[in-house]
Amino acid sequence: MSLPDPSFLLARAPVVPVVTVQSVAAGVKLARALVDGGLPLIEVTLRTPAALEAIAAIAQEVPDAIVGAGTVTRPDLIQKSIDAGSRFLVSPGCPPRLMEALAEAPVPVMPGCATATEAMALAAMGFPVLKLFPAEAVGGVPLLKSLAGPLPDLRFCPTGGIGPDNVGTYLALPNIVAVGGSWVAPGDAISVGDFAKVTALAKAASKLPRAAFPA
Ligand code: 3PG
């Protein structure tokens, strides 16, 4: 069984900004800043009351953005996210009922895993790209290298604890299609409306080389 593959979206940029928005207006400005910096994929976490409305506004008002929903922790959030305009879904973990529901979603999904057993269970369900979460805390680059041996077909988008200092070591791994992270959209810059800083951070991130998509 093969489920919708997020790789064609992830091919667009090596970094997926993980953003938590406090308002719809801030979400739209942030999306514009990220797109201007060359990062069109944007994961809006469903952690704030504004999140779903922000996804809808980004989908409508920032046509070059490819907006998705993160922190999908319950089955009822799947349809709500898609109705809002999410073009991909991300979950932090893989409880069985949520995974069964996500496997029915008509958009690409990156389900979260933290162990070989979870990765194997998700691969068996047909998910082609998994989010390793929280990447640094569960083993980071050494874990991903180790998983490549027994699970050579699996590809990952690790997230959690990745930033400018270690992103290169992740993107150098052939089983990494992209990484996710919040460092390109820092809360302090957003809170003072410094979207030029976001664009500058995105520009640097968008140029990072990755082994999975050789230039
Ligand atoms: C998250 O879900 O919060 C993401 O993994 C972002 O993690 P980061 O803030 O460590 O980049």
Query: Which fold does the domain 7-205 belong to in CATH?
Result: TIM Barrel (3.20.20)
Residue 29 known to be catalytic: no
Compute CA distances 73 → 151, 190, 209, whole Å: 26, 25, 31
| Confidence at 213, pLDDT banded by 50, 70, 90 | confident
pLDDT exceeds cutoff 80 at 26: yes
Residue 80 known to be catalytic: no
Query: Is any atom of ligand 1 closer than 6 Å to the C-beta of 128?
Result: no
Question: Which tens digit of pLDDT belongs to each residue from 139-188?
Answer: 999 999 999 999 999 999 999 999 999 999 999 999 999 999 999 999 99
Which residue out of 131, 136, 145, 207 is catalytically annotated?
131
For a ligand 1 pocket test, name from 18, 46, 71 the mutation site with the most ligand atoms within 8 angstroms of its C-beta. 18
Nearest CA to ligand 1 atom 9: 182
The full DSSP string for 46-82 is TTSTTHHHHHHHHHHH-TT-EEEEE---STHHHHHHH
Q: Are 185 and 34 in contact (CB under 8 A)?
A: yes
Handedness of CA 184, 186, 190, 196 (dihedral sign): negative
Q: Are 158 and 133 in contact (CB under 8 A)?
A: yes
User: pTM to 2 decimals?
Assistant: 0.96
Nearest CA to ligand 1 atom 2: 160
Nearest CA to ligand 1 atom 3: 160
Q: Where are the domains of the chain?
A: 7-205
Question: Which tens digit of pLDDT belongs to each residue from 98-123?
Answer: 999 999 999 999 999 999 999 999 99
Q: Which residue has the tokens 């390793």?
A: 132
Q: What distance in angstroms lies between residue 21's CA and the mean position of ligand 1's atoms?
A: 13
